[in-house]
Amino acid sequence: MVSSMQSCNDIIIFVLGPPGSGKGTVCKAAAGMLHAPGRRYLHLSVGDYLRELCRPTTSCEVDGLDRNRIRNHLRDNVLLPAEVLIPILKHKITSTPKEKETTNVWLIDGFPRNIETALAFEEEIGNPMKVITLKCSRDTALERFQNRRREKADNEERFMKRYDEYMKNMEEINKRYRNIMEEACADGNMEQCSIQFLAALPPASSD
């Protein structure tokens, strides 16, 4: 069955990996350098977008948007429930302008973080064409996580909590998407990781 999102020509690619694996870095780089005919690559970092929505100056027409709830969940490192998160993502994707005869290709990094939000996304927005998982050692991920320190609370304890949560939740996500999932090594430097990531993306002819 063709989903509503697929029928309006958007392509969805989930990009997963433990905290500090470089999801946002490689997605941002790919969106900036890829210019395939008939395709427009867009990077959507779920975490960054939620942080952006917490700012009073950021406009969002999602009904019942509760900025304080989002802010509290981010502060406490707690996942937003699907009924809150999915309408936000749906609005972002569907409200983004589309160029004539061009397919929007969404590189959604940091999503889904559990199977419940994955299923809700499929129901409300559409199915991913591919799921790319970044693989790197825990020590490498921890070092990157501590170096970037997006928030004051980003310490080793918080990393380990999120890392363990990621590994646990990936069990069901792996089962769900095993037929469209591909790994990309993220242990190297920026250039090496980008090469691995670009190789894992579906070719332009695959749709």
Q: Could you list the mean pLDDT of each consecutive 10-residue stretch along the chain, which spans 207 residues?
A: 50 94 92 88 93 82 81 83 92 88 93 95 95 94 83 81 93 96 92 93 70
Task: Give the pair of three-digit tokens for residue 139.
Answer: 């020590």
* pLDDT value of residue 206: 52
Residue 190 lies in a domain: yes
Residue 30 lies in a domain: yes
Q: By three-state DSSP, how is residue 16 classified?
A: strand
Residue 179 lies in a domain: yes
Residue 56 lies in a domain: no
Residue 55 lies in a domain: no
Residue 91 lies in a domain: no
Cross-strand partners of 131: 14, 181
* pLDDT value of residue 4: 43
How many domains does the structure of the chain reveal? 1
Residue 86 lies in a domain: no
Residue 38, phi then psi, degrees to nearest 5:
80, 5
Answer whether 53's CB lies under 8 Å from 65's CB: yes
- The string of DSSP letters for 134-199 reads EE--HHHHHHHHHHH--STT-SHHHHHHHHHHHHHHHHHHHHHHTTTEEEEE-SS-HHHHHHHHHH
* pLDDT value of residue 116: 95
Q: What residues make up the domain containing 142?
A: 4-44+102-201
* pLDDT value of residue 2: 39
* pLDDT value of residue 7: 41
* pLDDT value of residue 58: 79
* pLDDT value of residue 66: 82
Q: Is the dihedral of CA 194, 108, 92, 150 positive or negative?
A: negative
* CATH number where 155 lies: 3.40.50.300
Residue 182 lies in a domain: yes
